[in-house]
Amino acid sequence: MLSGRIIAPLVIERGSGCWIYDADGTKYLDFCSSIAVSLVGHCNPKVVNAIQKQAKRLIHYTLAGFVHRPAIELAEKLRKIAHKDNGKIFFTNSGTEAIEGAIKIVRGFFGGSRPWIMGFIGGFHGRSMGSLSITASKSIQRKGFSPLLPCVEHVPYPYCYRCPFKLDPDSCDLHCASFIEEQIFGKLLDPSEVGCVVFEPIQGEGGCIIPPAGFWNKIEKICRSYGILMVADEVQTGLGRTGKWFAVEHWGIRPDVICISKGLASGLPLGAIIGDREIMSLPRGSHASTLGGNPICCASALATLSVVEEENLIENASKVGDHMLKRLIELKDHYGIIGDIRGKGLLIGIELVDRKGNPSEKALTTTIRECLKKGLLIIGSGISTIRLTPPLNITIEEAEVGLSILEEVFKVVEKKFEN
């Protein structure tokens, strides 16, 4: 799927591990895992067993008025891995609901005195009205839905391969961060009215964009100096995807609120807001979810996180991810169609370009279709970037199967566009 369009026909029948089978029984290696959702592989036996056991015990009871054991246990687990031992958890059904809840939490914390939210150009945070107001990755996602939430301002994200300020990344002195203080706060917004910055530590939908070293540390320093909260959208990057429990750990920063979903429950609808206790202080009844924190979803999440730990999948994500990056960088030297390679862990972007170095959406679409023909599932992000997000338990041998297919396809696509 690219920009909301089905670009290749595939009716999926079943999945197992890193493999998908269509209605005809054809086998495909899954390099996207339903956009980073199948964290521990499709139909992981431990996850399936946990779902079945919980379904026989209690299918649902709302957390709006009562509690159940799977939610309690999962909340404790999330507090531990997020290093928020005194924090609070709110369960949602999705990532976009987690962002919506975070907006209300920040607004409520400041009592309406800091209504402004800052987001980043290229960021994706969901498609409901509040989250969509912060989303800025593709204009089609916002077209026709205005007016959106007021008091949202967007600033440039440090996309070093295509610097928004046309500066040399080696000497720009993190200008994207300085720009906020010098221009946004200096000329547009009074920082005392800004409640939070909502950010993806690594932009996923925007093209797998990784900020340079020190960027988030500088943003954190700016936020702390003005009392602005940091809301990390770890929906795609969290839970081991980048080789850490959370991507913010790569920079050593500590956000006030973390939003997660996607792979949390291996595909069952579950998200969570993890925040510091003093910030998660909305009055009782001001926010709730009838279905958020469903016991079957919580049981699935507990099993998923257990598999990640027991099978050392965070370490595996780093190991296999490093291997894939090395191989892809080698391919870049042989194929002009590859403009840039970037990634951390098993979140990897391959930006495809034309002969002039411009983004080539046509090359991306063709590559996705050709890979499908050869038994490899990939998806795109940004304008022309292949986004690789295989399950965290993929082996190097399985990764090599996919990389070999990619190389074969790059040969075909390069010939198609060499003129």
**Which range, of 165-179, 291-305, 306-320, 387-401, averages the lowest pLDDT?**
165-179
Q: Is the pLDDT of residue 243 over 80?
A: yes
User: Which distant-in-sequence residues (6+ apart) come within 8 Å of 67 by Cβ?
Assistant: none
Structure tokens belonging to residue 351: 């930006």
* Alpha-carbon span 219 to 173, nearest angstrom: 13
Q: What is the pLDDT of residues 153-166, one digit of tens each?
A: 999 999 999 999 99
The upper half-sphere exposure of residue 59, i.e. CA atoms within 13 Å in the direction of its Cβ, equals 0
161 CB burial (10 A radius; 0-12, 13-18, 19+): middle
Note whether 400 and 321 are within 8 A (CB): no
Total Cβ atoms within 10 A of residue 224: 12
Q: What is the pLDDT of residues 296-330, one digit of tens each?
A: 999 999 999 999 999 999 999 999 999 999 999 99
Bridge partners for 388 per DSSP: 348
The pLDDT value recorded for residue 2 is 41
Q: Considering the entire predicted model, what is its pTM?
A: 0.96
Note whether 102 and 273 are within 8 A (CB): yes
Q: Return the domain boundaries, the chain.
A: 12-30+312-417, 45-310
Pairing type for strands 152-155 and 116-120 reads parallel
pLDDT band at 416 (very low <50, low <70, confident <90, very high): confident
pLDDT band at 176 (very low <50, low <70, confident <90, very high): very high
Q: Provide the 3-class DSSP secondary structure of residue 110.
A: helix
Query: From residue 56, how far is each of 166, 254, 296 by CA, in Å?
Result: 59, 39, 10
Q: Is the pLDDT of residue 406 over 90?
A: yes
Q: Provide the 3-class DSSP secondary structure of residue 91.
A: strand
Over residues 206-219, mean pLDDT:
97
Residue type for 197, please? V
Is the domain defined by 12-30+312-417 classed in CATH 3.90.1150.10?
yes
The pLDDT value recorded for residue 5 is 53
Q: Is the pLDDT of residue 262 over 80?
A: yes
The pLDDT value recorded for residue 419 is 58
| 45-310 matches 12-30+312-417 in CATH topology | no
150 CB burial (10 A radius; 0-12, 13-18, 19+): exposed
The pLDDT value recorded for residue 388 is 98
Q: Is the pLDDT of residue 370 over 90?
A: yes
Terminus-to-terminus CA distance in the chain, angstroms? Answer: 27
Where would I find the H helices in 1-138?
A: 33-36, 45-57, 69-81, 95-110, 129-134
pLDDT band at 248 (very low <50, low <70, confident <90, very high): very high
Q: Provide the 3-class DSSP secondary structure of residue 391.
A: coil
Q: What is the pLDDT of residues 231-240, one digit of tens each?
A: 999 999 999 9
pLDDT band at 252 (very low <50, low <70, confident <90, very high): very high
Residue type for 315, please? E
Structure tokens belonging to residue 158: 């440090």
Over residues 238-264, mean pLDDT:
98
User: 147: cis peptide before it, omega within 30°?
Assistant: yes
Over residues 388-401, mean pLDDT:
98
Over residues 57-66, mean pLDDT:
94
pLDDT band at 359 (very low <50, low <70, confident <90, very high): very high
Class of domain 45-310 as given by CATH: alpha beta
User: Which distant-in-sequence residues (6+ apart) come within 8 Å of 68 by Cβ?
Assistant: 58, 61, 295, 298
